[in-house]
Amino acid sequence: MNYQGIIFDLDGVLCSTDEYHYQAWKGLADSLGLAFDRQKNNRLRGVSRMASLDIVLEDYPEPLAEAEKLALAEQKNESYKRLLTRMSPADLPEAVKSTLLALRARGLKLAIGSSSKNTPFILRQLGLDGFFDAVSDGNHISRSKPDPEVFLKAAQMLGLKPVDCLVVEDAVAGAEAGHRGGMDVACVGDAAQAKAGEYNLASVSGLLEIV
């Protein structure tokens, strides 16, 4: 298959902010007297902020008003953003950087397809601000993965048909989103272990053998 564009999920594919997410959600859960561990945190991967909050609040003794939930989500996000300030270009693995440059040199269009509303900030911290041809993120969508909206918007922003794009994901929900959007998916991490993609890779650099 001759792909013209590659759409990357951000967290877990190009960089790892998992630990920062965990610390921020754990801090919120602790403040509410709720149990939260890494096993529960794994259920939040690839899920929108509000859907993640619903999982965190599963054992909360009473229903919360929407305004209260929005305030809690914002509290978590502010904590997360404070942690993100620790990120730098050193957090972009050298193998990822060299792969991105090699794909660009081959003439492929490159995009981000991430549910995170913090995508622009993370890209700046990594030194990737302005690198991608398109950035579709949580600021552009109303439905989170496994809905394909974020990837379909990325393809549209690239000026490409979905079938001409390859999605790169580490979460099973993200791989499902790519497939729902009519795209092939290359998986790394957990999604690769689950054999969720057409290509299940040991690392992002494996893309160079596909395209």
59 has catalytic annotation: no
Which position among 11, 137, 170, 184 bears the catalytic label? 11
Asked if residue 61 has a cis previous peptide bond (ω within 30° of 0), the answer is no
Q: Where are the beta strands (DSSP E) in the chain?
A: 5-8, 109-113, 134-136, 165-169, 184-187, 199-200
| Sign of the C-alpha dihedral computed for residues 136, 85, 41 and 8 taken in this order | positive
3-state secondary structure of 164: helix
Structure tokens that stand for 97 in this block: 């950087």
> Phi and psi (nearest 5°) for 21?
-60, -45
Which position among 9, 170, 184, 190 bears the catalytic label? 9
Residues taking part in catalysis: 9, 11
